[in-house]
Amino acid sequence: MPNEEQVRYWNEEGGPDWVAHERRQDLMIAPFNAVLLDAADAQLGEHVLDVGSGFGTTSLALARAVGKQGRVMALDVSEAMIARLRSRAAAEAVGNIISHVGDAQTEVLPAGHFRLIVSRFGVMFFDDPTAAFANIHEALRPDGRLVFVCWQALAANEWAAGPLAVMAPVIGPIAEMPAGRPGPFGLADEEVLHEVLDGAGFSDVVLTKIERPVVMGGGEGLDAVVEHCAGTGAARRALAAVEPEQREVAVALLRQYLVERLAGDRITFDGAVWLVRARP
């Protein structure tokens, strides 16, 4: 099954964890969400597809922007994420969101239907990104637009690279994942992004480098930041691969590193994304 590993991860581990730490995750990527929504510029009455909608922050904002005349389809592989989105929509009386558990690479989407397709860090996890974006392309109207944000390279994102570097004496160096492979930095390479989108049929592809400060741990103090940094992507996998004693040493190194960066209850790192815009 395409994306089987990612579907399993986002249902068994990633999705429930994001829902459990919703505020923390939203605060971390809020600066880039604002950039995304501004670039998307959703209009009243538009039909929008939110790819990898997560627990609904972007979908809810888009639903308000398009108004009662418009519709937002929220699509995510994680049942926990979609369940939380539905709960939030009901609590906030937002009735113009159609939520669905599904994979944008394989989901049968209404052809030529959406005026706007967006994603907040939801398009980097496909086994075959060209096939996934080709499927997305087929769902876009001829006069439509694609807008999404994805992380730039690991080295450009201090929030991920810093903790890994400080723990490297124990967990070993972490190599960059090969370009195009599913993962948070799967679309970090500019050339790969162009190749994927060109191959999927998109035109007028524009990549803009966006850099913003990233708050880790939800502004909830040192323990929350340690947990957040140790639980993201490569750090989580690397720590799981070592013996418990080594894990304790690595986390102690991480804590000391973070203590030196603590300002009040917050620790802020540099973050960098691609803002990607394209036409069908």
pLDDT at 178: 67
Lowest-confidence range among 86-90, 112-116, 230-234? 230-234
Instruction: Please tell me the pTM assigned to this model.
Output: 0.94
Instruction: Encode pLDDT of 36-68 as tens digits.
Output: 999 999 999 999 999 999 999 999 999 999 999
pLDDT score at 234 = 86
- pLDDT of 200: 98
Q: Is the pLDDT at 131 greater than 90, yes or no? A: yes
Look up the domain containing 274 and give its range: 4-279
Going by C-alpha positions, the residue among 132, 69, 80, 88 that lies closest to residue 106 is 132
Q: Band the pLDDT of 211: cuts 50, 70, 90.
A: very high
* Residues 251/226, Cβ–Cβ less than 8 Å: yes
**Residue 82: predicted pLDDT:** 98
- At 277, list the tokens: 């815009």
Residue 150 dihedral angles phi and psi, to the nearest 5°: -145, 155
> Per the structure, how many domains does the chain have?
1
Higher pLDDT, 186 or 1: 186
What local confidence, expressed as pLDDT, does residue 1 receive?
82
Share above pLDDT 70 across residues of the chain, in percent, rounded to a whole number? 99
Beta-ladder partners of 116: 48, 145
Determine the average pLDDT of the residues in 139-163: 96
The pLDDT assigned to 89 comes to: 98
Helix axes 222-230, 233-240, angle to 10 degrees: 80
Helices (H), ranges, 67-221: 79-91, 129-138, 158-171, 190-199
Average pLDDT, the chain: 95
pLDDT (tens digit per residue) in 168-206: 999 998 876 667 788 999 999 999 999 999 999 999 999
What strand order describes the sheet that includes 47-51? 97-101, 71-76, 47-51, 114-120, 140-151, 267-279, 203-216
- pLDDT tens per residue across span 215-272: 999 999 999 999 999 999 889 989 999 999 999 999 999 999 999 889 888 899 999 9
**Average pLDDT of the segment spanning 132-150:** 98
Q: Quick one: tokens of 270? A: 């540099």
Look up the CATH number of the domain holding residue 178. 3.40.50.150
Secondary structure letter of residue 221 according to DSSP: -
3-class DSSP assignment, residue 183: coil
